[in-house]
Amino acid sequence: VAAAMAEGEGRGLVSVDYEVSGRVQGVFFRKYTQGEAKRLGLVGWVQNTSHGTVQGQIQGPTARVRELQEWLRKTGSPQSRISRAEFSNEKEIAALEHTDFQILK
């Protein structure tokens, strides 16, 4: 029964955009984000912006997406200093729109 309960939130797929501010460029933030996303089985992308932040999109089971959101908010790469993580455009999706998690230039 517990497994079925835990499955409840994780069944639907969601897509969410994110932008992380702080010391997040030049500290392997994208590489670590990609590694964490792959570990969680998520798809999407990450890229540096011209104004010193890192942005991207995450897609996957709701519970796993929440885990990566928490990681983006609090953890990041070892050398990073996260001041803010903003999430937007969250929506349920019927199918994943990406095949893997990519670092975009």
Question: Which one of 11, 23, 30, 89 is the catalytic residue?
Answer: 30
Q: Report the distance separating Cα 11 and Cα 1, nearest Å.
A: 15
48 is catalytic: yes
Q: Report the distance separating Cα 62 and Cα 13, nearest Å.
A: 6
Q: Is the dihedral of CA 30, 35, 38, 39 positive or negative?
A: negative
The beta-strand segments (E) located in 1-105 are 13-23, 43-48, 54-61, 81-93, 101-104
89 is catalytic: no
- Look up residue 74 and give its amino acid: K
Question: Which one of 48, 64, 66, 89 is the catalytic residue?
Answer: 48
Active site (catalytic) residues: 30, 48
